[in-house]
Amino acid sequence: MIKMEFELYLKNLNIEFLKDHPLKDFTTFKIGGKARYIVFPRNTKQLVEVLTLAKDEAINYIVVGNCSNVLISDKGFNGAIITTVKIDSFKIDGNLIEADCGAMLSQVARKACEKGLKGLEFAVGIPGTVGGAVYMNAGAYDGEIKDVFEWAEVLDKNLNILKLSKSEMKFSYRHSRLKEEKMVLLRAVFSLEFASKEDISPLQKAIEFSKRRREKQPLSYPSAGSVFKRPPNNFAGKLIEDASLKGYRIGGACISEKHAGFIVNVEDAKAEDVRKLIYLAQKTVYEKFGILLEPEIQFIGEFETPLFMPENVQNRR
């Protein structure tokens, strides 16, 4: 594929894109090298068109949302990063919410709470898109996307459009069929319940969750949220703190003093700084407690620092 042909295609369809632009401008971590292209389709039709071209012409691509749960390599990405953030419409009809892939989950959740619908209060503080939330079965405060999920329209790896029900999504902890089979969400429908007079107001509950989040999480620094999945019957942050790593710094990255489950960008951190801290936390916790921490964040690009993987490790989840 000649580069100019791809650019011409995007221009002819009036699809916004950036060329050789730093990805750190679009990640909540404020980390990431340049991408050959960053593409911004405005609707699901354009998204399908761009993906079809990239697949047909063997262009390396990755679909992302708000980049709130990713670490992108300092080397960047030699291909097309296709972001869904402009595909952001949603509507509420009774107790059902239909949302496009790029709609911000926090905005969808807040609007639902304002209408007296319960079930998404946990999501008001989650900074990702609907697509990313379904992909990861995002959750907080004992709530998960699977609890309210009804059905979704998705693209399989061959770009066929499928409609998947909740039972077909294979939801589990921070996992879905989308992740397993490299599918792309186009839109999703959630089914909520109207709060009764006896219930705590959904909006009040959401406000309380947001307050707890501000108090416990290091929101004043760029990060990608919780770095590791929760180990069975334990907490990653507590294990890292008990391993005496709270506040440990490499380069511009630091294991948060406020919550050891977060790695924060305190001073122009590099992706390799973060990867080194991830490796250190995994290795130290495993050696002290025999528990292997599994990253929750997604990695894009090539990294020099590996993830820690001891021999003969059995998956516990």
From 98, 144, 241, 296, the catalytic residue: 296
From 223, 226, 256, 272, the catalytic residue: 226
Main-chain phi, psi angles of 106, to 5 degrees: -65, -40
Contact 303, 272 (CB under 8 A): yes
In single-letter form, the type of residue at position 56 comes to: D
- What distance separates the 2 farthest-apart alpha carbons in the chain? 63
Cα separation, 292 vs 313, in Å, equals 8
Cα separation, 39 vs 125, in Å, equals 26
Q: What would the two tokens of residue 3 be? A: 């580069």
Contact 184, 63 (CB under 8 A): yes
Q: Is 226 an active-site residue?
A: yes
Contact 281, 243 (CB under 8 A): yes
Q: Is 153 an active-site residue?
A: no
Cα separation, 116 vs 111, in Å, equals 9
Cα separation, 74 vs 304, in Å, equals 10
From 36, 174, 177, 275, the catalytic residue: 174
How many CB atoms are closer than 10 A to CB 306?
Answer: 10
Residue 159 DSSP SS3: coil
DSSP β-bridge partners for residue 98: 91, 189
Q: Is 296 an active-site residue?
A: yes
Tell which phi-psi region holds residue 39, choosing left (phi > 0), alpha (psi between -120 and 50) or beta: beta
Q: What would the two tokens of residue 40 be? A: 């911004």
Contact 62, 81 (CB under 8 A): yes
Residue that the structure tokens 């009804």 belong to = 150
Q: If you write DSSP's letter for every residue of 255-290 in order, what string do you get?
A: E-SS-TTEEEESSS--HHHHHHHHHHHHHHHHHHHS
Positions marked active-site: 174, 226, 296
